[in-house]
Amino acid sequence: MNTEGYEVKRFDGSTKRYVRTMELRGDTPEFFSEYERRHAQGNVWPEVLEGIRAVGILEMEIYRCGRQLVMIVEAPEGFDWDEAMERLATLPRQAEWEAYMAEVQEASAEATSSEKWRRMDRIFNLY
């Protein structure tokens, strides 16, 4: 468990943040380990990482608390989420990755990333 916090990457220019959530299918330590193994450094397919960058996403993080996942995405100021997700769904191996991950997510194998991850609304900020 990280009690020291996480480093945040800085970008030149203004960015927008998107926060999405989803639940995992199972709730055992082995199940959580499998989900985390699939996202460990070197295990996410290169085509998927290239696709995420190709649609304009600057940074993406996923956090887990029990079955609950939270994804945080940083993108440039002019980024259009719906347009980017529509394009992402057409890129090499993306549909295959979504089906592979649906084995451990509360989602159908046919669902796109945009369909799986539900938008979270910000209710407070300390700016």
How confident is the model at residue 2, as a pLDDT? 85
How confident is the model at residue 21, as a pLDDT? 98
How confident is the model at residue 123, as a pLDDT? 97
Cβ distance 32 to 64 under 8 Å? Answer: yes
How confident is the model at residue 118, as a pLDDT? 96
Instruction: Give all domains of the chain, ordered by start, each with its CATH number.
Output: 15-119 (3.30.70.100)
What whole-number distance in Å separates Cα of residue 43 and Cα of residue 97? 11
pTM above 0.85, yes or no: yes
DSSP annotation string for 90-116: TSTTHHHHHHHHHTTBSS-TT--HHHH
How confident is the model at residue 1, as a pLDDT? 77
| Series of mean pLDDT values for 10-residue runs along the chain (127 residues) | 88 95 95 96 98 98 97 97 97 96 94 95 95
